[in-house]
Every structure is written in C-alpha cells, then in structure tokens.
Amino acid sequence: QVQLVESGGGLVQAGGSLRLSCAASGRTFSSYAMGWFRQAPGKEREFVAVISWSGGRTYYADSVKGRFTISRGNAKNTVYLQMNSLAADDTAVYYCAAYKVNVPAPTTPADYWGQGTQVTVSS
C-alpha cells in the first residue's frame, strides 16, 4: 500500500504563488508516476498535471499550462506543484495521486490518492 500526504495549501491573493508538496511512503515506490488533481466546490475532480517516475515527462491541463510546474524530488518519493499567477478559478482541494504505470495519460485512473489540501485564491 502507498500513502500520500499533501501539504502547502493555504490562502493566497490572486496573482500570487503557492508550492504544494506530496510525500509518498509505504511499499517500495518504484516506477510510479505521480500527479495532481483538483476539485472545486460543486465540480468534478479534474486532472492538473502528471510526471513520469524518472521526471523526464510531464503533462499539464490546458488551464494551468505556463503557470504550474510539476517536479519530483531527488529521492523520487516526493512530488511538488509550483503554482504561479494564481486566479480565483484555481480555488479547489488539490489531491496528490500515484500511478502504477510510468507515463499515464491525463485520463488514466490513479491507483492511490492523498487526502487533499485546500487552496483558496482571493480576488
């Protein structure tokens, strides 16, 4: 089993930045891609970004391209989401996810989920 714990959420003004972190623990964490999703009030959970196990491939939702950057720590069991130029539409609970495949598509179901961290952008 894999446990994912997110941190770094909070309240920020529009135009500001936040950096989310997700730490993975549990069984040997090898060849797992990781990603971020978000769910705004009254909306379905949506894909934000994904990064391959090696960190060499990344994919982003169109709504965050150029503003968000996903990356992995050197130990591969941590993933980050740097969020810049935040807008009110980015307000959501952000979830970390892990995949048993190396390079998932945005529509690939994740195998493990974190509990989520709230990001609120005030306009």
The 10s digit of each residue's pLDDT in 17-58 is 999 999 998 865 557 899 999 999 999 999 999 999 888 899
The 10s digit of each residue's pLDDT in 62-80 is 999 999 999 998 777 899 9
- Phi first, then psi, for residue 69 (nearest 5°) are -135, 125
- Phi first, then psi, for residue 41 (nearest 5°) are -55, 130
Reported as half-sphere exposure (CB side, CA atoms, 13 A), residue 64 has a value of 25
The answer, yes or no, to whether residue 10 has pLDDT greater than 70, is yes
- Tokens (6 digits) for 37: 């999703």
In angstroms, the CA 67 to CA 8 distance is 17
Degrees, nearest 5: CA angle 102-110-58: 45
Mind giving me the DSSP string for 60-105? E-TTTTTTEEEEE-TTSSEEEEEE-S--GGG-EEEEEEEESSSS--
The 10s digit of each residue's pLDDT in 84-104 is 999 999 999 999 999 988 888
